[in-house]
Amino acid sequence: MKKSFVFLICSVFALGTSGYAQTKKTGKGAKPASSVLSPADVAKGKALITKSDCFACHKPTEKLVGPAYSDVAKKYPATQANVTMLAKKVIKGGSGVWGEIPMAPHPSVTQADAEKIVKYILSTK
């Protein structure tokens, strides 16, 4: 399972080219970032990343092989729609958004865990 997390964050950064588009919700239907990024979910997401090999390719504030978490947070507003979309990309993998290095799919990661990881990443803005 640890090896599957090596590419986990790589999937988050390879977003947008496999049929998913960035979603920006505004107005009545949008939840404020504070309600999407609950402290409990952010803490759980950080724990999941810390226990993984994600840092082999990513750093919180510097580009390594993949983009910095903070760069992802700047690109994608913290909406539930983006959390869901990015979590699906973590699970399915992809390429092309952050460069040509593809990120492998992570089918063993649950949607719930992937969403917590994404919430942590989006909190690093």
* 54 among annotated binding-site residues: yes
* 57 among annotated binding-site residues: no
Say if residue 62 is exposed, middle or buried (CB neighbours under 10 Å; 0-12, 13-18, 19+).
Answer: exposed
Tell me how far CA of residue 2 lies from CA of 8, 25, 106, 108, in angstroms.
10, 34, 11, 11
* 106 among annotated binding-site residues: no
Which positions make up the binding site?
Answer: 54, 58, 103
Which positions make up the binding site for heme c?
Answer: 54, 58, 103
